[in-house]
């Protein structure tokens, strides 16, 4: 188990029943980077990965 799995598990435990939009998620990521600018690059990479995640399925 990766250390980050604990945070992911907490997210699903606390908010797993909620439905959110990608717009809401994008706003949350922007807010997070505003508060924690040192995470700008990892969040950018994560957002790009999410945006392109289905490209492999199209080939």
* Spans of all domains in the chain: 19-58
Q: Other CB atoms closer than 10 Å to residue 48's CB: what's the count?
A: 10
What sign for the dihedral angle of Cα 19, 26, 37, 43? Answer: positive
pLDDT tens-digit readout, 19-59: 999 999 999 999 999 999 999 999 999 999 999 998 866 55
- Is residue 12 a contact partner of residue 19, using CB atoms and an 8 Å limit? no
H helices of 1-59, in order, are 3-15, 22-35, 40-52, 55-58
DSSP state, residue 38: G
pLDDT tens-digit readout, 5-14: 898 899 999 9
Q: What's the predicted TM-score (pTM) here?
A: 0.77
């Amino acid at each position: 188990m990766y250390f980050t799995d604990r945070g992911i598990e907490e997210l699903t435990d606390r908010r797993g029943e909620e439905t959110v939009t990608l717009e809401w998620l994008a706003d949350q990521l922007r807010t997070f980077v505003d508060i924690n600018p040192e995470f700008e690059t990892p969040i950018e990479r994560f957002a790009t990965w999410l945006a392109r995640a289905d490209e492999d399925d199209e080939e």
